[in-house]
Amino acid sequence: MRIDRADSESELLGPPISNREIVQVVAGDFEVRLAQTPAEIDAAQALRYRVFYEEMAARPSAEMALERRDFDEFDRVCDHLLVLDRRRGDGPEGIVGTYRLIRREAAARAGRFYSAAEYDIQKMIDFPGEVLELGRSCVAKDARNTATMQMLWRGIALYCYHYDIKVMFGCASFPGTDPSQHAQAFSYLYHNHLAPPEIRVRALAERFVDMNMMPPDSFDPRRAMARVPPIIKGYLRLGGFVGDGAVIDSEFNSTDVFIIVKTELVTEKYIRHYERGVR
């Protein structure tokens, strides 16, 4: 359900306003932090709607289309990571990027992790230590640049450091619902970045799309990698893996792959920069 501007802070099921102490980095005109108010969550949902439903042609529910917001039951229990361009404002009007962060505690309140609708994630649930599901990542069209993405990753790194997150996971999307259009990219990921068996999540049987579409010697790895969306390339650079099987998501007009990232490289890289005095 959407969180309205008129809702009181006490109605939010997520963590309280002291979240600002968990994640807050200011670098030049940009700031990354967790949402503090219902108005900021509402603005993040509005940004998600513009990106997913207006730009990417996802299919909103009637209620979403009426309110021009992307929302579901997870919004009340998750943390909303925000990047603000402070030239546009220090509150909702400044939000140019967002990520949705779901820890075990939040998933328990929701009854499941979001990605459980597409994948058998028992290996993530059973993983020792804290885990974090990433989702609903988007950036405003006029803010899609290195600076915005770096701020999002700094925020994620600090969040992981604070909660001692061991593994991050979630679904990442390729455009369109015809997996054959991504045969080279899927095959490259399968042959080069498949997760080891102990953490290899598999698509639900009724939704499973085989990513092993082409033999490894039948395509140019560089050209195949060029067809991988930038956000997935970013996960791979951090040592990320993919699960077994893709899933067609008709609602979002996409085909999803499952991403698993152990957090050592994330926190090491970004905490080091943070401790050098990036503010």
Tens digits of per-residue pLDDT, 123-154? 999 999 999 999 999 999 999 998 899 899 99
| DSSP secondary structure of 212-226 | --S-GGGS-HHHHHH
Fold type of domain 9-275: Aminopeptidase (3.40.630)
Q: Determine the pLDDT at residue 57.
A: 85
Nearest-angstrom CA–CA distance, 206 and 195:
21
Task: Look at residues 130, 66, 77 and name the one whose alpha carbon lies nearest to residue 101.
Answer: 77
Nearest-angstrom CA–CA distance, 191 and 165:
28
Q: Determine the pLDDT at residue 266.
A: 75
Q: Determine the pLDDT at residue 18.
A: 52
Q: What angle do CA 146, 151, 14 make, to 5 degrees?
A: 140
Residues of the chain with pLDDT under 70: 1-20, 267, 269-279
Phi, psi of 18 (to 5 degrees): -65, 0
**Roughly how many angstroms between the first and final C-alpha of the chain, as a whole number?**
34
Sign of the alpha-carbon dihedral angle for 89, 161, 131, 186: positive
What does DSSP assign to residue 251? T
Phi, psi of 50 (to 5 degrees): -60, -45
Task: Look at residues 95, 81, 82 and name the one whose alpha carbon lies nearest to residue 132.
Answer: 81
As given in the structure block, the two tokens for residue 61 are 């529910």
Domain ranges of the chain: 9-275
As given in the structure block, the two tokens for residue 116 are 């459980």
Q: Determine the pLDDT at residue 265.
A: 73
Task: Look at residues 209, 130, 115, 103 and name the one whose alpha carbon lies nearest to residue 171.
Answer: 115
Q: Determine the pLDDT at residue 1.
A: 44
